[in-house]
Structure 1
Amino acid sequence: MMTAFARTIILYFLIMVGLRLMGKRQIGELEPSELVLTMMISDLATVPMQDFGIPLLAGVIPILTLLAISMLLSQISLRHLRFRAMVCGTPSVLIRNGELQQDAMRRNRYTLDELLEELRGQGIANIADVKYAVLENSGQLSVLPWAAQQPPTASQLGLEVEDDVTLPVVLINDGRVLAKNLTLCGKDNAWLNKTLRKEKVSSPREVFLMTLDEQGQVVCVKKEGLK
């Protein structure tokens, strides 16, 4: 029992480290080589977890080998565009200037129904409204409508808009004070305690979320159910 537990924990953290090395991507955004790597690693990990007769290294070594190959291919791809195109493929234009590129659709085995479904998902009902539709290496469809079909921006309308977009920093997360973020904002515990008193809160443990943006605005959300 303890052997199975220990093997599972080791392989779990090994795979988690490997996926972190691959970067932050969703499954639907993985390139073909990355998807194959993920599937092979998952299969290799299940064998030593289920069969105790197989040494743990029989699963760890192949996983480490695949991760090393993946990192090597990534480094080569960064330096050689042709190699990257061979391994990962290249984007394909399915719609150009409002016209379907049927040859590109056939090469990618991309049906008309799939294309229309993707366009509807992005709020486009007419193919003629699209200037470019590009099938990316990840399988996602990037749609670029004609300028006349896009909503106008403030600069196009000649309006002067103040850029008031700020990035709030979390200071308290579910009752826990994030000291690193507090220091990053140039604040200390004395400032925090003073701010909590203004919010009629006696302790950080009573706060579910507190943020501070670049303009000095504080947002404090108290925990529910506290008396």
Structure 2
Amino acid sequence: MLIILIRTVILYFVVLFVIRVMGKAELSKMDPFEMVLLFMIAELAAIPIESLDIPLINGAAAILTLLFLEVLISFLSIKSTKINALLNGKPSILIDHGNLNLKELKSQRITIDDLMEQLRLKNYPSIADVDYAVLEANGDLSVIPKPEKSPLTPEDMGIPASSEIMPMVLISDGILYKRNLSFLGKEEAYLKKELSKLKINDYSQVFLCFFDEKKQLHVYPKGKSRKEMLKEVPIK
């Protein structure tokens, strides 16, 4: 039992190392090559755990070999568009200038019902609203609406818009994220001062604290709703 536990822990860290080396981009796009690779890694990690007669080094060596193969092929894919297209496929235009591409739909084995469902998920209930629909290599559907169906922007209406920032969590469940605070150009003294206005003297009293895109601070104390807390300390 102890041997199985030790082997499992070792292989866990080996697989974790491999996934980390593969990079975040590989996990987000999940092209066919990466999907097959992950399935194989999972299978190769399970074999030495289930069969104690198989040396642990064999499983680790096979997993690391797949990692080397993934890095090599990723490098070759960057250098050659043909290799990239062969392994990952190419985007398919399903709607072109508002017209259904029946040949491509048939090639990708996509029915009209499937297409309509995906368009609804993208908030375009009618094909008549769509100028282009592209099935990406990772299986996601990119939709470009017709100009008259595009959402209005402040630029379209001639309204000046101020620059926004990326929302940042500063405190989560009592833990201070100093890196995010520094990214926003704020000092810890500033945060403590703002919290003191809400009668909060310790980070452990905070469930969530974050800056939104409008550079406004939001605080959600533990045990009380933010609305209740703001009633005690009115905002000026």
Classify the TM-score, shorter chain: 0.7 to 0.9
Shift of 1:191: 3.7
Shift of 1:41: 0.7
Shift of 1:26: 8.9
CA distance in 1 between counterparts of 2:116 and 2:149 reads 17
What corresponds to 1:121 in structure 2?
Answer: 121
TM (norm. structure 2) is: 0.84
Instruction: Map 1:125-164; keep pairs closer than 5 Å.
Output: 125-157=125-157, 159-164=158-163
Identity %: 38
Is the contact made by 1:93 and 1:134 (CA closer than 8 Å) also made in structure 2?
A: yes
CA distance in 2 between counterparts of 1:116 and 1:184 reads 42
CA distance in 2 between counterparts of 1:218 and 1:110 reads 46
Higher relative contact order (CA 8 A, sep 6+): 1
Shift of 1:119: 1.7
Change (3 A) 1:191 1:143: closer
For the aligned residue pairs, the C-alpha RMSD in angstroms reads: 2.5
CA distance in 1 between counterparts of 2:142 and 2:50 reads 42
Shift of 1:78: 1.2
1:8-44 CA distance string (max 9 Å, x none): 1122222222223333369784101011101111111
**Per the alignment, in what secondary structure is the counterpart of residue 5 of structure 1?**
helix
1:68-105 CA distance string (max 9 Å, x none): 10011111111211221121111011111121112212
Shift of 1:196: 2.8
Change (3 A) 1:14 1:222: same
Is the contact made by 1:48 and 1:54 (CA closer than 8 Å) also made in structure 2?
A: yes
What corresponds to 1:36 in structure 2?
Answer: 36
Aligned length: 225
CA distance in 1 between counterparts of 2:192 and 2:124 reads 51
Instruction: Map 1:23-102; keep pairs closer than 5 Å.
Output: 23-24=23-24, 29-102=29-102
Is the contact made by 1:95 and 1:131 (CA closer than 8 Å) also made in structure 2?
A: yes
Is the contact made by 2:26 and 2:34 (CA closer than 8 Å) also made in structure 1?
A: no
CA distance in 2 between counterparts of 1:77 and 1:195 reads 51
**Per the alignment, in what secondary structure is the counterpart of residue 142 of structure 1?**
strand
Shift of 1:214: 8.2
Shift of 1:183: 4.0
Is the contact made by 1:28 and 1:138 (CA closer than 8 Å) also made in structure 2?
A: no
Once structures 1 and 2 are overlaid, which stretch shifts more, 197-206 or 185-194? 185-194
**Per the alignment, in what secondary structure is the counterpart of residue 163 of structure 1?**
coil
CA distance in 1 between counterparts of 2:126 and 2:206 reads 49
- The residue type equivalent to 2:117 in the other structure is E
